[in-house]
Structure 1
Amino acid sequence: MKRDMRLRGLSSEHHHALLLARSLLDRRGEWTPRDGAALLERMRVELEPHFRVEEELLLPALGAAGAMDLVQRTLEDHAFLRASAEEAARGSPQAAYALGERLHAHVRFEESEVFPACEALLAPEVLDEVGRRASSAH
């Protein structure tokens, strides 16, 4: 399916998120404090700007359009991913693995459910602002 141009920036960021998820899943329990610090930096630089665009623009508009189930799951996933990253940074290989699993599932959920709902339900002005914000985050 062809993605709306204004969502392509966010969608392309999912590729990097999937690479991160795969790297976390491939570790198989090997985890160091240095790994935790690197993960927090990737969260700060790569995932947090993505989450902010969604939480500040997409999710309020989806909620107003009646898609509260999508909004709720997205927010729950974001909270889990943030908490898992913090726990992994404190040395938990289990949290790093759980983050990898959830991040992979979250990207698939956004691509298959959230973004199509955005394309169908959101006003052009919202999508325009998402496109501007996603491209300025890079």
Structure 2
Amino acid sequence: MCLEENTRILMADGSQKPVREIRIGDMVMCDLGEPKIVRNVWQGREEHMMCIELKNGSKIILTDNHPIKTATGIKRANEINEDDEISIVYGDKSKIASISCIEYNDRAFNLDISGNFMIAEGIAVGDFEVQNRR
């Protein structure tokens, strides 16, 4: 479904906020550097998540079906491999350091920002609409 509840999202004003604190009407920064309004927030529970660490030091915890922008296109987290380059802030890329599955058993969140990619922990990930396109 989504992102670990403490995942920091890049806001339109340049600050970062945990996804669990974001509300409808907040403005987040999309991966192209444009502000987007949060139209909806989803919350659920997840038992297992994936942890993807990049060589630039970024780390994200998300569900296995969450979309991530890569150098070769959009992939779900469970389709990512250590040969992929992941899109980070404003079109830059970073190679993967490690991928693992972890026990989680807690809340997870997703946002609707009109079918765009947001910056979560410095990584370009799809919103609810992007996740449900495929």
TM-score (norm 2): 0.27
Higher relative contact order (CA 8 A, sep 6+): 1
Q: Higher strand fraction: Structure 1 or Structure 2? A: 2
Q: Which of structures 1 and 2 has the bigger CA Rg? A: 1
Query: TM-score by structure 1 length?
Result: 0.27
